[in-house]
Amino acid sequence: MRAGPGARNKGAGGARSREVTIGGAVSLGQRWVEDMATNKGRRIRIAVDIGGTFTDGVAEETPGNRIWVAKRLTTPEDPGIATAEVTVELLHQIAAPQEDARAAERVVEVVHGTTLVTNTIIERNGAKCGLVVTKGTRDVVDIRREVRYDLYDLNLKLPDPVVPTRHRFEIDERMDAQGGELKALNEAEVKKALAALKKQGVEAIAICLLHAYVNDAHEKRIKELLRDQLPGMYVSISSEVAREIREYERMSTTTLNTYVQPLMSRYLAELEGRMRAIKVGAPLRIMVSSGGFTSSAAAAEVPISLLESGPAGGVLSAVNTALEAGISDVLAFDMGGTTAKACVSTGGEPAVAHSFEAGRVHRFKKGSGLPVLIPSIDLIEIGAGGGSIAHISQLGLLNVGPQSSGAVPGPACYAQGGKDATVTDADLILGFLDAENFLGGEMKLDTGLAEKALDRLAKRLKMGPTEVAWGISNLVNENMAAAARVHIAEKGLDPRKFTMVATGGAGPVHVVEVASKLQIKHVLCTIAAGAGSCLGLLAAPARVDRSFSKVELLQEVNWNEVKSVLDALYREANTELSAAGARGERINWTIGVEVRYAGQGNTVQVVLPYRNIEPALGKTLVAKFEERYAQLYGQTVPGGTPQVVTWRLTGRSAVKSRGFKWAVDRWSGKGSTRPIARRRMFLPGKGDYGVVPVYERYALPPGTRLKGPCVLQERESTVVVPRPAAVEILKDLTVAVELR
């Protein structure tokens, strides 16, 4: 439901209108005139997120934090087109009512998130690249780790390395595990290899030498030689991309970086050009997987760090919504058409993992992709979405997903030819969705077709259609809860202490039931799921990560060496952060030390402020390590000797929540707290249908309190509260649900 742009007299009550600036600049009377007068001082920030289907954009004007939203179909052949169009559209929205022809000049930054890197790897259309390695290791990327990701599949498929054998060259040189030079670099051989690669017509070259994580001298020298010999060639060296022990994973990361580098560099350069063409001279910031942003130049150097750029934005948006409500421990939960994602965030900071996978052969099979050692928001993804198909397993049991009906043919109720019963069909029959109000009524759902699909399953299962519909919905919830439960357990945390924040089209429909399975009491549903990632981009802190591995017993650490390496990394990182425009905020520098008991394989990360790198730090580290270890595993290891594996330096601007206010017609302004309808809906507690009130979400003024069971309808989704609960509309229109 959308009010026209000219709608006036919104927010009848004075108190309310102070909070609700949602009505847009036009309706604000006196304030509007003031705004005009001070336009010069009003800064605009723009966020654009390229997704698979849509390119979303949000503009924010400060002070005031008012926001505008725009959307375009993604232009896969040249994604920059949609990005530029969305930006123009946003500027137009801001400028038109204000008659501000110079809005573009007020833009102070453009934050950009994109799935381009992920897609390039999945679709295998990256650059032709070369690889230079230590003698004897040319086949490392073929041999991998020799494990199978599925125990029982005899016809297993593994992803091919991105650099074929003919483009790999071995160099006689050698470091040892302590970083000592065993054999000097044979420079003549390097030059020959580079000439051969040039002749082969590669566009980019990766360099990955054994033990370069502890001594990068040879890699650096090869890079110098390359710069002299092949000016303009793209180059990535492993000690700069992923300075960590484990040659296969490091080599995989470096080659993947090379693989996407030419494309991303060109894309980013063109995008900057496009922005200049529309008179946006502001710097371009890029969202990276770790949940921070960096400069466009840094992103072009290490584009592999953009792998999870889009999802990271979504998580940050959820975290921001919670912080605005005074909540800092969050389970961000996103459920769309095909997948559900979950991410744990404590103290307002999303969990970050340090290894990841790209280009999986099987989307939901761990280990079926190419490993990537980059800091990345630690989220789990499972095959559970509105389109997930219900089917009967070999055991005669009902299963849901991971197969999905996709957008075409889609669920049976879309009436596009889909015959399979999906989660959306079940949700429709259960009354969680309204056939007349899907996507704001733009798409009518066919209840008859959903019933037919469910009946077929019900007959085969010898069960009633309602039982089957509830079974599908309940089962998909159980699958998501199970995945979240294990994910949270792996971090040694207790789900009951978290608040779930739902996004995505199906997120608000399922979140209350998933929360109840996890014994989570508090649930938040953010506004405008579609623009979610962009809001996250706007709330993102500047962030930079550096790391280096050196395996040493804690009691034997050479603190002078650690200090000098960290200091060097700090200088480098600080330069990058300044270039990223850390907005003059205070930067929080921390070191994350990966520690384990000598002999163990897995490490526990201990985080300390980055200062006073000296022997005394050893004691603090041991104490912190044991505390964290006991928290994770219940006890420490008597007689165990702590050992340091990797040092990680992170600089991050302070976390500040941003309260956004809609400058467009989010809130219909009718101020009615009365239900717009009542409808039959399945109530799990009762095990049967009941009649519940239906509210128009954006007709409910902030401060409204309702009781569950109830339904809150909106254009992008439906907040379904099928249990007794207290529901409250917060001042930013977030819906808060407290379960009994």
Partner 1 sequence: MTRARLDPITTEILWTRLVSIIDEASATLWRTSFSTLVREANDYAIILTDLEGRSLAQSSASIPSFIGTLPRTVRHFLRLFPLSSLKPGDVLTTNDPWLATGHIHDINICMPVFHRGKPVALVAACSHVPDIGGRVRGAGNRDIFEEGIQIPPLYLMREGRRDEAVVAFIEKNVRVPEQTMGDVWAQVSAAHMMAGRLAGFLGETGIDLDELGAEIRGRSEAATRAAIRAIPNGTYRAEWQIDVFGEPITLKAAVKVGDEDIAIDYSGSSPQVPRSVNVVPNYTFAYTAFGLKCMLSPEVPNNDGSFLPITTWAPEGSILNPRYPAASGARNAVGQCLPGLVMDALSAVAPEKVSAAGCLSCSFAMTGEHRGRRFAVMNFINGGQGAGNGRAGLDTVSFPSNVGNTPLEVMEALAPIRLVRRQRRPGSGGAGAHRGGEGALMEFEMIGESPAVIAFIVSRILTPAPGLGGGAAGKPSRLSINGRAAPAGEHHVIQKGDRIQIETAGGGGYGRPGR
Chain contacts with partner 1 (rule: CB under 8 A): 135-140, 142-148, 151-156, 158, 174, 176-177, 182, 210-211, 213, 245-249, 392-399, 461, 463, 467-468, 471, 474-475, 478-479, 481-483, 485-486, 489-490, 551, 597, 599-602, 632-635, 637-640
User: How far apart (Å, rounded) are the C-alpha atoms in residues 575 and 252?
Assistant: 27
Give the shortest CB-128-to-partner 1 separation in angstroms: 22
Distances (CA, A) of 353 to 118, 126, 597: 17, 25, 20
Return the number of the residue (29 or 136) whose C-beta is nearest partner 1.
136
Among residues 303, 305, 289, which one has the least CA distance to residue 379?
289
Buried (b) or exposed (e) across 3-25, using 16+ Cβ within 10 A?
beeeeeebbeeeebbeebbbbbb
The pair phi, psi for residue 395, each rounded to 5°, is: -90, 5
**Helix, strand, coil: what percent of the chain each, to 5?**
35, 25, 35
Look at the alpha carbons of 687, 691, 696, 697 in this order and tell me if their dihedral is positive or negative: negative
List 499's β-bridge partners, or say none: 330, 522
Residue length, the chain?
740
HSE of 17, CA atoms in CB hemisphere, 13 A: 16
Cis peptide before 159 (omega within 30 of 0): no
Nearer to partner 1, 326 or 634 (CB): 634
Which one, 34 or 160, has the nearer CB to partner 1?
Answer: 160
Q: Indicate the residue among 263 and 483 with the shorter CB distance to partner 1.
A: 483
Are 707 and 675 a contacting pair, CB within 8 Å? Answer: no
- Give the shortest CB-34-to-partner 1 separation in angstroms: 56
Shortest distance in whole angstroms from residue 707 CB to partner 1: 23
3-state class of 129 per DSSP?
A: strand
**Least spacing, CB of residue 599 vs partner 1, in Å:** 4
Min dist CB 594 to partner 1, Å, is 13
DSSP 3-state of 463: coil
What is the Cα gyration radius of the chain? Answer: 27
CB of 161 vs partner 1, minimal distance in Å: 12
Rank residues 245 and 676 by Cβ distance to partner 1 and give the closer one: 245
CA–CA distance, 308 with 288 (Å, rounded to integer): 7
Q: How far apart are CA 121 and CA 118, in angstroms?
A: 5
Question: Which CB, 15 or 630, lies closer to partner 1?
Answer: 630
Which is nearer to partner 1, 177 or 654 (by Cβ)?
177
Choice between 161 and 708, CB closer to partner 1: 161
Nearer to partner 1, 213 or 259 (CB): 213
Spatial separation of the C-alpha atoms in residues 590 and 571, rounded to whole Å: 14
Shortest CB 482 distance to partner 1, Å: 4
Find the shortest distance in angstroms from Cβ 148 to partner 1: 5
For residue 691, the minimal CB distance to partner 1 (Å) is 25
38 vs 19, 43, 61, 128, 157, CA distance in Å?
Answer: 21, 10, 12, 52, 61
Q: How far is the CB of 195 from partner 1 (least distance, A)?
A: 24
CB of 517 to partner 1, least distance (A): 9
Query: Shortest Cβ distance from residue 486 to partner 1 (Å)?
Result: 5
* Of residues 62, 41, 35, the one with CA closest to residue 659: 62
User: Which residue, 161 or 669, is less far from partner 1 as judged by CB?
Assistant: 161
Closest CA to 159 of 255, 265, 290: 255
515-519: list long-range contacts, CB under 8 Å, 24+ apart.
Answer: 515/739, 516/723, 516/739, 517/477, 517/478, 517/481, 518/331, 518/481, 518/484, 518/485, 519/495
Three-class SS of 389-453 = EEEECCCCCEEEEEEECCCCCCCHHHCCCCCCCEHHHHHHHCCCCCCCCHHHHCCCCCHHHHHHH
CB of 550 to partner 1, least distance (A): 10
Nearer to partner 1, 138 or 452 (CB): 138
CA dist 262 and 201 (Å) reads 13
CB of 653 to partner 1, least distance (A): 32
Q: Taking the CB of residue 270, how many other CB atoms lie within 10 A of it?
A: 16
DSSP-derived secondary structure for 344-359: EEETTEE-EES-EEES
CB of 469 to partner 1, least distance (A): 10
> Which residue has tokens 């789990």?
380
Which tokens sit at 579? 């270039």
Closer CB to partner 1, residue 19 or residue 478?
478
User: What gap in Å lies between CA 111 and CA 89, rounded to an integer?
Assistant: 16
State in angstroms the smallest separation of the CB of 153 from partner 1: 6
Separation of alpha carbons 298 and 285, rounded Å: 9
With respect to partner 1, which residue has the nearer C-beta, 382 or 582? 382
CB of 31 to partner 1, least distance (A): 53
- The smaller minimum CB distance to partner 1, of residues 13 and 464, is found at 464
Closer Cβ to partner 1, 336 or 471, answer by number: 471
Q: Pull the structure tokens for residue 383.
A: 């095959």
With respect to partner 1, which residue has the nearer C-beta, 328 or 641? Answer: 641
Burial of 563 (0-12, 13-18, 19+ CB in 10 A): middle
Question: In the complex with partner 1, which residue's Cβ is closer, 90 or 454?
Answer: 454
Task: Using alpha carbons only, give the angle 420, 359, 132 rounded to the nearest 5 degrees.
Answer: 165
